Amino acid sequence: MDLALDLAQQLCLWADELRAVASNGLQFNTNPYDRANYERILSLAAEMFARAADLPAEELVPVLAETLGQSTPLAVGDAIVINAVGEILLIQRADSGLWAAPGGAFEVGETAAEGACRECYEETGVRVEPLGLIGVYDSRIVGTRVARHCYHFSFLCQPADEGQGTPVHPQETLDMGWFPEGALPPLDRGHDFWVPVGFRFWRGEMEQAYFDPTTPQLLK
């Protein structure tokens, strides 16, 4: 085992978590003192990246432009939680009033499945366990209401306990409940696509996880 390489990799992972925390803070915070602190965290993350790569100070700026400034589709995920009697756990979103599977954006430092389960707990208070990857959806194709290009990961999950749950972030959730497939409430855009796919996966009707095909018309 190369301890020096392992340490460099760990420094990069820590720096990436700091970068994510600071970037989120800069995006959502308007307090000038907090913004200054987040900018300092970004600076420290940059120094960690440079040290891990063993680069001289004069090469720091181009490294940051590539490492910290790179933009990719936002990774988000949903927990398709279906209980033993075939009911799915849904939330009523505060922003649209429509119903959806619990989920949200992943955080640096967690797996995609962990992120989906965490988001479910935060929005419903129900702890769940992941069982399998249902699919990966392109936001442009399924028509979700987001400003950024997103990849939506959908995981089949089962309740980890018998509790009814209470949302940890109630400001995001107006209501929640368990619904059979034949009596679903009005679903938000995107969820009206992958919730039915989730039931197909749960019934064992799919041979592999869903993914969107190439769509040349969207790339013109």
Q: How far apart are CA 122 and CA 167, in angstroms?
A: 6
**CATH 3.90.1150.10 for the 74-211 domain, yes or no:** no
Rounded to 5°, angle at Cα 39 from 37 and 40: 65
Largest Cα–Cα separation, the chain: 63
Can you name the residues that pair with 74 across neighbouring β-strands?
150
- Summarize pLDDT for 71-88 with one digit per residue, the tens: 578 899 999 999 999 999
Parse the chain into domains and list their residue ranges: 3-67, 74-211
Question: What's 74-105 look like in SS3?
Answer: EEEEEEEEECCCCEEEEEEECCCCCEECCEEE
The single-letter code of the amino acid at 187 is L
* Count of CB atoms situated within 10 Å of the CB of 164: 12
At residue 133, does pLDDT exceed 60?
yes
- Summarize pLDDT for 147-186 with one digit per residue, the tens: 667 899 999 999 997 656 777 667 778 999 999 999 999 9
pTM, full prediction = 0.71
